[in-house]
Amino acid sequence: MEGRAAALGAGTVLNALATGTGAAFGIDVETRATVELDPASATADVEGSIADASDSDTELIERCVALATERWGDGQGGTVETESDVPLAAGLKSSSAAANATVLATCAALGLRVGDDPDDPTVDVTRLEACRLGVRAARDAGVTVTGAFDDATASMLGGVCLTDNGSDALRSREPIGWEVLVWTPPERAYSADADVDRCASVAPMADLVADLAADGRYAEAMTVNGLAFSAALGFDPDPAVEAMPDVAGVSLSGTGPSVVAVADPDEPAHDLDAVADRWGERPGALRRTTTRNDGARILDRSTDSNVSTGDNRANDADESIDGNDADESDTS
């Protein structure tokens, strides 16, 4: 019983640490998970590993498999391995991507069909159900403060997702078509270590960012977010300020340390090359990519193509996903 899946990294529009409202957008970097279940095992133990990071904590991905088999299987044990283009502890939602990929890979190993329409009789598990289960695992593993439902939905569904992290409710989801530049300095920052009290001090700015995001002004929202949370979390705002003349929006991503700039490909005044030249003088790594609107998917073992969710790196959002579906909550 084997399954494979991939989930997206993401960038931040609104950090949820201040008020519990968050927003994020999927980007074209992925984490992939392979799950092998052993129905003959005498125990439900799960052994996890992370490629190229043998010393990293595997509790999150092990918990994802355990919860998924408890809910949709027979509590089978097994193994899970992840490999990732998303750097760990860099603010690019590596934990959400790992959780989403692992839950979907477990669904594939169980032979379940994953989709988006809860009323479709051929769908065994919706991506939002899978997403919420991954958020539950993240809370259990202690890798998140708010549950990071904003990051998790952006990784699972793609596009820009605005959420209430207190109730794991998806307030809205919208496709977006940006070019993306990411600067990741050498240091790392773990979300669970963030100064929550300090972030609460910028709650009025976070409310403003939430209003902008609710109005669809995502690029402006992320720029305000970046300035506020760079100050709250002690990061230098200079990289963002350097980028502002040439981009639609720029922000510290998550709790840092990465800074993400976005540009409209149809806007001549936007110039990510110019930003890359400036950021390239700083220590760290640069990555050029794009937004993604398709989200996470189950992979065919031989071709890595999507076999269950019906779209493969689609440019348009799946119309069957309801952006106001607080009713489809995780009740396990």
Residue 324 vs residues 169, 173, 299: alpha-carbon distances, Å: 7, 9, 28
Would you say residue 197 lies in a domain?
A: yes
CA atoms of 149 and 172, how far apart (whole Å): 12
CA atoms of 169 and 163, how far apart (whole Å): 6
Would you say residue 323 lies in a domain?
A: no
pLDDT in tens, 263-309: 999 999 999 999 999 999 999 999 999 999 999 999 986 545 454 45
Would you say residue 162 lies in a domain?
A: yes
Tell me the pLDDT band of 172, cut-offs 50, 70 and 90: very high
Residue 1 Cα to chain centre, angstroms: 26
What pLDDT score was predicted for residue 195? 86
Residue 316 has pLDDT above 50, yes or no: no
pLDDT in tens, 212-221: 999 999 999 9
Would you say residue 311 lies in a domain?
A: no
pTM of this structure:
0.90
Q: Which residue has 């498999």 as its token pair?
A: 65
Residue 319 has pLDDT above 70, yes or no: no
Would you say residue 196 lies in a domain?
A: yes
| Secondary structure (3-state) at 129 | helix
Beta bridge partners, 5, equal 33, 298
Residue 72 has pLDDT above 90, yes or no: yes
pLDDT in tens, 17-36: 999 999 999 999 999 999 99
Q: What are phi and psi of 77, to 5 degrees?
A: -90, 180
Q: Give the chain's mean pLDDT.
A: 90
Tell me the pLDDT band of 315, cut-offs 50, 70 and 90: very low
Q: What percent of the chain has pLDDT over 70?
A: 89
Sort residue 34 into left (φ over 0), alpha (ψ -120 to 50) or beta.
Answer: beta
Burial 251-274 (b: 16+ CB within 10 A, else e): bbbbbbbbbbbbbbeeeeebebee
Range of the domain at 198: 1-306
Would you say residue 175 lies in a domain?
A: yes
Over range 101-120, report the average pLDDT.
Answer: 98
User: For the purposes of burial, counting CB atoms within 10 Å of the CB of 71, is it exposed (0-12), middle (13-18) or buried (19 or more)?
Assistant: buried
Q: What are phi and psi of 199, to 5 degrees?
A: -65, -35
Which CATH number covers residue 266? 3.30.230.120
Over range 314-327, report the average pLDDT.
Answer: 42
Would you say residue 328 lies in a domain?
A: no
Would you say residue 325 lies in a domain?
A: no
Structurally, how many domains does the chain consist of? Answer: 1
What pLDDT score was predicted for residue 248? 98
Tell me the pLDDT band of 45, cut-offs 50, 70 and 90: very high
Lowest mean pLDDT among 26-35, 175-184, 203-212, 314-323: 314-323
Pair 23, 221: CB distance under 8 Å: yes
Residue 194 has pLDDT above 60, yes or no: yes
Amino acid at site 121 = P
Residue 5 has pLDDT above 90, yes or no: yes
